[in-house]
Chains A and B, each alone.
Chain A
Amino acid sequence: MSILVIAEHDNQHIKSATLNAVTAAKQIGGDIDIVVLGGDCAAAAAEAAKIDGVARVRVIDAAHYKDQLAENAAIILAQMAGTYTHVLVAATAFGKNLGPRVAALLDVAQVSDIVAVKSPDTFVRPIYAGNALATVQSSDPVKLVTVRTAAFDAAPTGGGSAVVENAPQGPDLGVSKLVSRELAVSARPELGNARVVVSGGRALGSADAFHAVVEPLADKLGAAIGASRAAVDAGYVPNDAQVGQTGKAVAPELYIAIGISGAIQHLAGMTESKVIVAINKDPDAPIFQVANYGLVGDLFELVPQLTASL
Chain B
Amino acid sequence: MKILVPVKRVVDFNVKVRVKADGTGVDLANVKMAMNPFDEIAVEEAVRLREGGLASEVIAVSCGVTAAQDTLRTAMAVGADRAVLVETDAELQPLAVAKLLRAVAEREGVQLVVLGKQAIDDDANQTGQMLSALLGWPQATFASKVVVGDNKVTVTREIDGGLETIELSLPAVVTVDLRLNEPRFASLPNIMKAKKKPLDTLKAEELGVDVAPRLKTLSVAEPPKRAGGVILANVAELVSRLRDEAKVI
Residues of A within 8 A of B (CB): 69-71, 74, 92-94, 96-105, 107-113, 122, 125-140, 173-184, 192, 196, 221, 229, 232-233, 238-240, 245-246, 253-254, 264-265, 271, 274-277, 283, 288-296, 302, 305-306, 309-310
Q: Which residues of B contact A122 (CB under 8 A)?
A: 218
A301, closest chain B residue (CB): B235
Beta-carbon contact of A112 and B124 below 8 Å: yes
Cα of A21 to Cα of B126 in the assembled complex, Å:
18
Whether B94 sits at the interface, judged by CB under 8 Å, is yes
By Cβ-Cβ distance, the 10 closest A-B pairs, closest first, are A100-B129, A109-B214, A104-B130, A104-B133, A100-B126, A175-B138, A179-B165, A292-B229, A176-B138, A254-B248
B219 touches A (CB below 8 Å):
yes
Partner of A288, one of B98, B223, B231: B231
Closest chain B residue to A255, Cβ basis: B248
Minimum CB–CB distance from A221 to chain B (whole Å) comes to 7
Q: Is the CB of A103 within 8 A of B11?
A: no
In the assembled complex, the Cα of A70 lies from the Cα of B172 at a distance in Å of: 13
Q: Contact at B214–A139, with CB atoms within 8 Å?
A: yes
Does B188 reach chain A (CB closer than 8 Å)? no
Q: Are A239 and B158 in contact (CB under 8 A)?
A: yes
Are A110 and B94 interface neighbours, CB within 8 A? yes
Q: Are B163 and A71 in touch, CB under 8 angstroms?
A: no
A139 to chain B, nearest CB (A): 6
User: How near does chain B come to A274, taking the closest CB pair, in angstroms?
Assistant: 7
A174 to B167, CA, bound (A): 11
Determine if B126 and A103 form an interchain contact, defined as CB atoms under 8 angstroms apart. Answer: yes
Cβ of A128 and Cβ of B223 under 8 Å apart? no
Listed A/B pairs (10) with beta-carbon separation below 8 Å? A94-B159, A97-B141, A100-B125, A100-B128, A128-B11, A135-B220, A173-B138, A182-B164, A246-B178, A306-B239
User: Which residues on the A side are within 8 Å of B167 (C-beta)?
Assistant: 176-177, 179
Measured between beta carbons, the chain B residues less than 8 angstroms from A240 are: 158-162
B interface list, Cβ under 8 A from A: 11, 13, 16-19, 26, 38, 93-95, 98, 117-118, 120-134, 137-142, 144, 154, 157-169, 172, 177-179, 213-223, 226-232, 234-236, 238-239, 241-242, 246, 248-249
Contact assessment for A295 and B120 in the assembled complex, using a CB-CB cutoff below 8 Å: no
Beyond A109-B94, A181-B159, 11 additional pairs, beta carbon < 8 A: A99-B126, A104-B98, A104-B133, A112-B126, A131-B18, A135-B220, A246-B38, A254-B242, A294-B231, A295-B238, A306-B235
Q: Check B239–A97 contact: CB distance below 8 A.
A: no
- Interface secondary structure of B, over-half rule: mixed
Q: How far apart sit A98 and B216, CA to CA, in the bound complex (Å)?
A: 23
A122 to B215, CA, bound (A): 9
For residue A112, which residues in chain B have a CB less than 8 angstroms away from its CB?
Answer: 123-126
Min CB distance A183 to B, Å, is: 4
Asked if residues B248 and A133 are in contact (CB atoms below 8 Å), the reply is no
Q: Report the separation of the CA atoms of residues A71 and B154 in the bound assembly, to the nearest whole angstrom.
A: 16
B26/A132 in contact, CB under 8 A: yes
Contact (Cβ within 8 A) A137 B166 = no
Task: Decide if A70 touches B221 in the complex (CB within 8 Å).
Answer: no
Q: Could you tell me if B246 and A292 are in contact, using CB atoms closer than 8 angstroms?
A: yes
* B223 and A180 within 8 A (CB): no
CA distance A176 to B132 in the complex (A): 12
Chain B nearest CB from A103 CB (Å) reads 7
A132 touches B222 (CB 8 A): yes
Check A133 against B229 for contact (C-beta < 8 Å): no
Interchain CA distance A127-B147 in the complex, whole Å: 33
Shortest CB-to-CB span from B44 to chain A, Å, is 15
Question: Cα distance A309–B242 when bound, in Å?
Answer: 12
Residues of B within 8 A of A173 (CB): 138
With A111-B215, A129-B120, A246-B117 as given contacts, are A179 and B246 in contact (CB-CB < 8 Å)? no
Q: Are B215 and A184 in contact (CB under 8 A)?
A: no
User: Which of B137, B159, B232 has the largest count of A CB atoms less than 10 A from its CB?
Assistant: B159
A13 to chain B, nearest CB (A): 13
A109 & B228 in contact (Cβ 8 Å cutoff): no
Say which residue of A129, A133, A180, A239 sits within 8 Å of B221 (CB atoms).
A133
Among residues of A, the one whose C-beta sits closest to the C-beta of B142 is: A93
Which A residues are CB-close (under 8 A) to B162? 181-184, 238, 240
A113–B123 CB distance below 8 A: yes
